[in-house]
Structure 1
Amino acid sequence: MRFHMNGGSDDNEIVAATGSEGAAHIRKFVFSSNERSVNERLEIKIPEILQGAYSFYTWPSAPILAHFLWERRQSLVCKRILELGAGTALPGIVAAKCGAQVVLSDSCILPKSLAHIRKSCVANQLQPGVDIDVVGLSWGLLNSVFRLPPLDLIIAADCFYDPTVFEDIIVTIAFLLERNRGAKFIFTYQERSADWSIEALLKKWKLHAASINMDEIGKESGIDLLEFMGGHTIHMLEITLVDQLVQT
Structure 2
Amino acid sequence: MNSTKVFHFYDEENSNQSSREEQSVIIKEILDSSYGCYIWPSAFVLAEYIWYKRDLFKDKTVLELGSGTSLPGFLCALISNDTHVILTDRPDAPQVLENMRDTARLNNLTTRNNIWIRGLMWSDFSGGLFQMLTDVEQSDRKIDWILGSDTFYDPKDFEDLIVTVAYILTYHSPNAKFITSYQERSSKRSIQYFLDKWKLKCNQIPLSLFNFNYDKYINLNDENDEDMESMDNDVAYATSLQSVFLLEITKT
TM range (shorter): 0.7 to 0.9
Q: Residue 27 of structure 1 corresponds to which residue in structure 2?
A: 5
Which of residues 227, 231, 237 is equivalent to 2:218?
227
Q: Secondary structure at the match of 2:201?
A: strand
1:68–1:218 contact (8 Å) kept in structure 2: no
Q: Secondary structure at the match of 2:186?
A: strand
Q: Which runs of 5+ in 1 are unaligned?
A: 1-22, 243-248
1:28–1:46 contact (8 Å) kept in structure 2: yes
Q: Aligned equivalents of 2:238 and 2:247: distance in 1?
A: 20
Letter aligned with residue 173 of structure 1: V
- Structure 1 window deviating more from structure 2 (199-208 vs 38-47): it is 38-47
Q: Aligned equivalents of 2:217 and 2:85: distance in 1?
A: 28
Which of residues 158, 174, 177 is equivalent to 1:184?
177
2:150–2:182 contact (8 Å) kept in structure 1: yes
Which of residues 79, 86, 111 is equivalent to 2:94?
111
Q: Residue 154 of structure 2 corresponds to which residue in structure 1?
A: 162
1:110: how far off? Answer: 1.5
Name the TM-score, length of structure 1 as normaliser. Answer: 0.82
Q: Aligned equivalents of 1:51 and 1:106: distance in 2?
A: 15
Letter aligned with residue 123 of structure 1: L
Superposition map of 1:88-107 within 5 A: 88-99=69-80, 100-107=83-90
Q: Which has the higher contact order (CA 8 A, sep 6+)?
A: 1
Letter aligned with residue 145 of structure 1: L
1:36: how far off? Answer: 4.8
Which of residues 124, 127, 135 is equivalent to 2:118?
135
Q: Aligned equivalents of 2:238 and 2:101: distance in 1?
A: 27
Misfit runs of 4+, over 4 Å: none
Q: Which runs of 5+ in 2 are unaligned?
A: 137-141, 220-236
Name the TM-score, length of structure 2 as normaliser. Answer: 0.81
Structure number having the greater helix percentage? 2
- Could you tell me the percent identity over the aligned residues? 36
CA change 1:131–1:109 in 2 (3 A) is same
C-alpha offsets along residues 160-182 of structure 1, whole Å, 9 cap, x if unaligned?
Answer: 11111111001101001112111
Larger Rg: 2
- Structure 1 window deviating more from structure 2 (121-130 vs 86-95): it is 121-130
Structure number having the greater strand percentage? 1
Alignment RMSD (CA, Å) = 1.9
C-alpha offsets along residues 112-162 of structure 1, whole Å, 9 cap, x if unaligned?
Answer: 111111111111111177231101111111122222212000000001111
Letter aligned with residue 55 of structure 1: G
